């Protein structure tokens, strides 16, 4: 039996050697595509029972990923890959393509460099009285090759506001986006079914773009943070909003700042008398701020991400969506829509 398996492994390895020059190289643990289009995980052949069984019984060669030493790594249709959420599988697939890097109103922040936040999106609005003028009034996060995650209040029209019409990707400077930036039209927007403009609850929405996004070094989707525990360290906010309470302080350069998580019960103390938070800060929301009251999100950062870079894949995961705050800076933390509470809804739209 052991000899038979060795022959099968050797046969598959020889065939894979001939094909390796034309197939993309995927490492162990990467997401791959099975023959029927479903996602699998790359594993050493000796650890992939379904592939061994097909080799023995049907003489079907597995899809090649790469090599680990002298053993072939194949695309495995295992139980673990089928247990992963659709968004988690998509995340693993995006991470395969991430380039290697050396290196809300955001007050007290710093300028970002091109490519630092390749998922960052700017939402453009047009005033019918001035159709040639685009105002970039909200942010968002690219989460797939067709969808941007943002706040519902950024897309739902009111008596004073219109929905966005365009999305800019791959830019840091809104005044001079550069030739590497890409513009897309808004095909449609989908607000969370339980959102109401009267409150800040369920303040989350998706924008479907008019065509498939071309990924590049400066344009890559972010992952969704699906875990229940929220990290207290490394939370970053990004946006083109105001950098102070003055109306003229809006930044054309993408800003970033690091914030700390604030427990919901403590955060609730700051919002007890705020009408739009009349049911208190709930578990579908989270709060973050700067203990020194310097850095914060501000007008124009709405819809942008509260994000963390995970150590296991060096990719950004969206923890929250910038939603609400009474002032820029100060002791009052900002409110963010808690993404892990809405993953089911997001998956039902984006990866249905």
Q: Which residues are catalytic?
A: 153, 203, 302
Q: Contact, 207 vs 142, CB < 8 A?
A: no
CA torsion angle for 206, 210, 212, 213 (degrees, to 10)?
Answer: -70
CA torsion angle for 314, 315, 321, 327 (degrees, to 10)?
Answer: 50
- 304 closest CA partner among 316, 314, 315: 316
Q: Contact, 199 vs 279, CB < 8 A?
A: yes
The Cα–Cα gap between 317 and 257 comes to 16
Look at the block and give the residue holding tokens 């955060």: 267
Cα–Cα distances (Å) from 139 to 119, 209, 337, in that order, read: 11, 15, 14
The Cα–Cα gap between 19 and 26 comes to 13
The Cα–Cα gap between 144 and 148 comes to 7
- 281 closest CA partner among 342, 229, 227, 323: 323
Give first-to-last CA distance, the chain, whole Å.
Answer: 43
Query: CA 192, 198, 200: angle at the middle one, nearest 5?
Result: 55
> Which letter, b or e, does each residue of 276-299 get, where b requires 16 or more Cβ atoms within 10 Å of its Cβ?
bbeeebeebbbbbbbeeeebbbbb
The Cα–Cα gap between 149 and 94 comes to 16
The three-state secondary structure class of 2 is: helix
Token pair listed for 250: 């809006």
Q: In the chain, which ranges are continuous DSSP H helix? A: 2-19, 49-58, 79-83, 86-97, 264-268, 343-350
């Amino acid at each position: 039996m052991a000899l038979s398996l060795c022959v099968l492994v050797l046969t598959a390895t020889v065939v894979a050697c001939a094909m390796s020059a034309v197939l993309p190289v995927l490492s162990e643990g990467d997401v791959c595509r099975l023959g029927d289009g479903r996602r699998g995980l790359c594993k050493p052949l000796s650890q992939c029972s379904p592939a061994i069984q097909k080799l023995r019984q049907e003489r079907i060669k597995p899809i090649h990923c790469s090599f680990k030493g002298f053993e072939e790594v194949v695309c495995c249709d295992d139980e673990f890959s089928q247990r992963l959420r659709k968004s988690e599988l998509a995340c693993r697939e995006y991470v395969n393509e991430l380039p290697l890097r050396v290196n809300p109103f955001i007050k007290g922040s710093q300028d970002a460099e091109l490519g630092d936040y390749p998922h960052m999106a700017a939402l453009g609005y047009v005033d019918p009285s001035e159709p040639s003028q685009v105002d970039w009034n909200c942010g968002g996060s690219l989460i797939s090759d067709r969808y941007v995650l943002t706040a519902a209040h950024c897309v739902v029209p009111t008596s004073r506001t219109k929905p966005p019409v365009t999305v800019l990707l791959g830019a840091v400077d809104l005044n001079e986006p550069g030739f590497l930036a890409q513009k897309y039209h808004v095909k449609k927007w989908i607000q969370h079914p339980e959102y109401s403009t009267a409150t800040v609850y369920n303040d989350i929405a998706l924008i479907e773009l008019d065509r498939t996004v071309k990924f590049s070094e400066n344009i890559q989707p972010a992952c969704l943070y699906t875990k229940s525990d929220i990290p207290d360290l490394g939370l970053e906010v990004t946006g083109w909003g105001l950098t102070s309470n003055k109306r003229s302080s809006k930044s054309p350069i993408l800003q970033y700042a690091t914030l700390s998580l604030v427990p919901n019960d403590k955060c609730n103390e700051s919002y007890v008398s705020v009408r739009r938070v009349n049911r208190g800060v709930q578990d579908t929301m989270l709060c973050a701020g700067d203990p020194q009251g310097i850095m914060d999100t501000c007008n124009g950062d709405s819809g942008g991400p509260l994000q963390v870079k995970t150590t296991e894949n060096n990719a950004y995961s969206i923890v929250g969506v910038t939603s609400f705050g009474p002032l820029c800076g100060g002791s009052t933390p900002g409110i963010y829509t808690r993404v892990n509470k809405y993953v089911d809804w997001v998956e039902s739209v984006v990866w249905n």
